């Protein structure tokens, strides 16, 4: 960004349009666009977090199979934190988004009004008739959403950033002046951006050198795999995703965690949600659900091989694609995605856009497919969320029977892990990631999980090692 750049009158809507809009809406979103902007999104978020009181969030998207991000959303100033427990979160979220759509104006080409948050794995019980699922051992809210007042989106491919803040119409022209001044002050802060990387690296080194402790011992995990395989042989289910949790006591800041994941273990989604006593930081390779212009997309990631620096990626890809176990696991979860989308899509519109492509990451290589459907007229994006949650790659098939077996074998609930996190727009669009390759920090304790899909051909020792490969960023 140019250091002497000023926004002058490049606020939209302009004052005249704002005066008209303030008669129709309770609040108006003021925005400005700035070009020649090439600051790293995670570094900017860390800097703004250091000078701005929490809560806040970052949500960064790297194109599937790409290397560099094309978009980063940053929640700078949060209007409200909404915890939802003991009820279907989509009911509350639908009400929030409906009120925003009716009362908050935002330019059509700017998606800066909505909610960022997560829905935990145990919310499955609100979407299907499941048995009573165990509770989250960390005591996180079942769902949590941040409603932003001031937000920024970096468009990395255009070297541009859009800044927005919502102002109340009841304060008249004074609100416009205050909103403009806020955006000007924000630009000044961005222009003075500095970050102490040495301090972050020291925290990361100390964290990685702190011992991790499993909640379930290895022999118990292997035993549970054998139990699942027996249930599969007896025809109870086709696949079940078994997970395990590790924990460690370590002093590490949220800014160090997000920096570590984004630089050393980049994935399709980089995210961090920060509240006063809770943070969720992840680098997930898997989309949960995207809805854009009424088209719903699921991208199942299933089938994994550990990345080995001594073996060519191409050779590992061939080995993964030739694995009978991994192909069987993947195909059944693609079929499950088709069935889930079929519940809310127009007849004949569910398509498999791509099948069993490979994605290469620092620690693992995955098989990935893409399934799409056009949402039917009497449904919306939140119905699509409910009908597909949680993604089959994180629970198994059939979903309900798999959830029952998981509840029997895993000693505790999963909480946010294996749920979904992302942006829910007032315009009806959704962009969410699965919550995997994620660390949860609560009350100065850190916790992280890994898992894998158990099928008929699963080898227990190999499955156990896969969970460790997936947690390599934290152990």
299 is catalytic: no
Task: Identify which of 339, 351, 451 has the alpha carbon closest to the alpha carbon of residue 388.
Answer: 339
Task: Identify which of 88, 74, 79, 25 has the alpha carbon closest to the alpha carbon of residue 389.
Answer: 88
Dihedral, 103, 104, 109, 113 alpha carbons, nearest 10? -120
Q: Which of 245, 299, 338, 437 is catalytic?
A: 437
What residues have CB less than 8 Å from 158, skipping those under 6 apart?
35
126 is catalytic: no
Question: In 255-292, which positions are buried (b, 16+ CB within 10 angstroms) versus exposed (e)?
Answer: bbbbbbbbbebbbbbbbbbbbeebbbbbbbbbbbbbbe
Whole-number Å distance between alpha carbons of 424 and 432:
8
Whole-number Å distance between alpha carbons of 318 and 19:
62
User: Checking phi first, is residue 150 left (phi over 0); if not, alpha (psi -120 to 50) or beta?
Assistant: beta
Q: Strand, coil or helix: what is 187?
A: helix
Q: Which of 72, 165, 393, 434 is catalytic?
A: 393
Give alpha helix (H) positions in 343-410: 381-388, 399-409
417 is catalytic: yes
Distances (CA, A) of 43 to 38, 141, 177, 411: 11, 28, 29, 38
Could you say which DSSP state residue 136 is in?
P
Q: Which of 18, 259, 453, 467 is catalytic?
A: 453
47 is catalytic: no
437 is catalytic: yes
Whole-number Å distance between alpha carbons of 306 and 316:
9
Q: Which of 299, 330, 366, 414 is catalytic?
A: 366
Give catalytic residue positions: 366, 393, 417, 437, 453
């Amino acid at each position: 960004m140019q250091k002497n750049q000023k926004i002058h009158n490049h606020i939209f809507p302009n004052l005249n349009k704002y005066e008209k809009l303030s008669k129709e809406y309770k609040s108006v979103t003021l925005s400005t666009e700035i070009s020649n902007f090439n600051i790293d999104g995670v570094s900017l978020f860390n800097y703004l977090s250091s000078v701005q009181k929490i809560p806040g969030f970052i949500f960064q998207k790297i194109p599937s199979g790409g290397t560099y991000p094309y978009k980063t959303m940053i929640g700078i100033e949060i209007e409200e934190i909404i915890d939802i427990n003991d009820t279907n979160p989509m009911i509350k979220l639908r009400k929030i988004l409906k009120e925003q759509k009716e009362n908050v104006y935002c330019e059509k080409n700017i998606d800066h009004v909505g909610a960022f948050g997560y829905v935990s794995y145990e919310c499955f019980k609100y979407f299907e008739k499941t048995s009573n699922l165990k509770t989250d051992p960390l005591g996180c809210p079942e769902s949590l959403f941040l409603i932003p007042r001031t937000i920024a989106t970096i468009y990395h491919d255009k070297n541009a950033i859009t800044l927005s803040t919502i102002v109340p119409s009841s304060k008249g022209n004074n609100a416009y002046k205050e909103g403009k001044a806020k955006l000007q002050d924000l630009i000044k802060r961005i222009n003075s951006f500095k970050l102490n990387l040495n301090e972050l690296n020291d925290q990361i080194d100390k964290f990685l050198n702190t011992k991790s402790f499993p909640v379930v011992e290895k022999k118990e995990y292997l035993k549970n795999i054998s139990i699942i395989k027996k249930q599969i042989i007896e025809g109870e289910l086709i696949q079940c995703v078994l997970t395990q949790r590790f924990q460690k006591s370590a002093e590490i800041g949220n800014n160090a965690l997000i920096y570590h994941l984004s630089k050393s273990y980049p994935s399709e989604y980089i995210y961090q949600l920060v509240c006063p006593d809770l943070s969720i930081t992840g680098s997930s390779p898997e989309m949960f659900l995207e809805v854009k212009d009424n088209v719903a997309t699921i991208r199942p990631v299933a089938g994994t091989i550990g990345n080995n620096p001594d073996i060519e990626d191409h050779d590992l890809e061939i080995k993964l694609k030739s694995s009978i176990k991994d192909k069987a696991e993947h195909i059944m979860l693609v079929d499950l995605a088709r069935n889930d989308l079929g519940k809310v899509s127009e007849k004949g519109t569910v398509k498999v856009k791509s099948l069993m492509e490979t994605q290469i990451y620092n620690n693992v290589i995955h098989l990935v497919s893409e399934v799409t459907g056009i949402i039917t007229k009497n449904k919306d994006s939140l119905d699509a969320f409910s009908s597909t949650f949680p993604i089959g790659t994180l629970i198994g098939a059939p979903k309900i029977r798999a959830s029952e077996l998981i509840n029997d074998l895993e000693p505790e609930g999963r909480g946010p892990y294996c749920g979904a996190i992302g942006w829910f727009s007032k315009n009806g669009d959704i962009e969410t990631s699965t919550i995997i390759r994620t660390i949860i920090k609560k009350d100065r304790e850190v916790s992280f999980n890994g898992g894998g899909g158990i099928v008929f051909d699963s080898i227990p020792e190999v499955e156990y090692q896969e969970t460790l490969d997936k947690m390599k960023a934290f152990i």
